[in-house]
Structure 1
Amino acid sequence: MTKIVPDPPLTTTRRKPVYTAFGCCNGNHPPLFSVCEGIELEDALVHLSLQIQCAKDTTAQACERADEQFKTLLIAAQQSLEMSNVLIDSVLDGMEANAAPQ
């Protein structure tokens, strides 16, 4: 049986981060930092990718100076950061490919 009426087009709602405060140190002051609501998800992921790259660079430098006991822990952290960075970059590439006119 063939459909007479086509399916309606998919509605794409842009997902965006919500306001999230951090850096209050359990003190009696307002939070020092926050994630702003309404920014584009792609922009948030780009910043996250940069932050993870900085953490990778930091662990690489610490790994050069650490003794053997801590070096293995730093290498494990660095591998986790690398996997996270690759995943974020893959998501960003997918978002870019889906946004490209066809």
Structure 2
Amino acid sequence: MDKLIPDPPKSNRPLFDLTAAHPFGVLDANQRPIFNVPAGINAEDALVHASLLLKCSYDVAYELTENGHGQSGLVWSVLQMVEGARALVDAVLQGGTSSMGRPAKV
């Protein structure tokens, strides 16, 4: 019996692609962004760096909570958001393979 739906074409594209330019953060006096993720960065490298930034953010917020600085409820909510964002990034990295065909490292 013939298949009614053909197989999708094979793709040679890696699981992780390149980044697009993405400005973020504060603007200078001429309303230009000071910070920018440049286009062409390997997406896997960008995700690894994002995960490290989220881990550092979590550690700082945790220290603030443990030492009694700031409003505990607000700091705990930041911890929850950072932890959730990092989990999503790490899940992408752990679930895929790198562009070189080996499991992505976190």
Corresponding residue for residue 63 of structure 2: 61
The percentage of counterpart residues that share the same residue type is 34
Structure number with greater CO (CA < 8 Å, separation at least 6) is 2
Task: Kindly provide the amino acid, as one letter, of the partner of residue 62 in structure 1.
Answer: L
How do 1:18-97 residues align onto structure 2 when only pairs under 5 Å count? Answer: 18-25=20-27, 27-28=29-30, 30-63=32-65, 64-66=67-69, 70-96=71-97
Q: Which has the larger radius of gyration?
A: 1
The normalised TM-score by structure 2 is 0.72
Q: Distance in 1 between matches of 2:80 and 2:46?
A: 22
2:28–2:34 Cα contact (<8 Å) kept: no
Runs of 4+ with deviation above 6 angstroms? none
The normalised TM-score by structure 1 is 0.74
SS at match of 2:36: strand
Aligned length: 97
Cα 1:79–1:22 shift into 2, 3 Å: closer
Cα 1:53–1:10 shift into 2, 3 Å: same
- Superposed CA RMSD: 2.7
Cα distance, 1:25 vs. partner? Answer: 2.5
Of Structure 1 and Structure 2, the greater helix share is in 1
Query: Which structure 2 segments of 5+ residues have no match?
Result: none
SS at match of 1:43: helix
Of Structure 1 and Structure 2, the greater strand share is in 2
Q: Distance in 2 between matches of 1:97 and 1:28?
A: 39
Task: Kindly provide the amino acid, as one letter, of the partner of residue 72 in structure 1.
Answer: G
Query: Which structure 1 segments of 5+ residues have no match?
Result: none
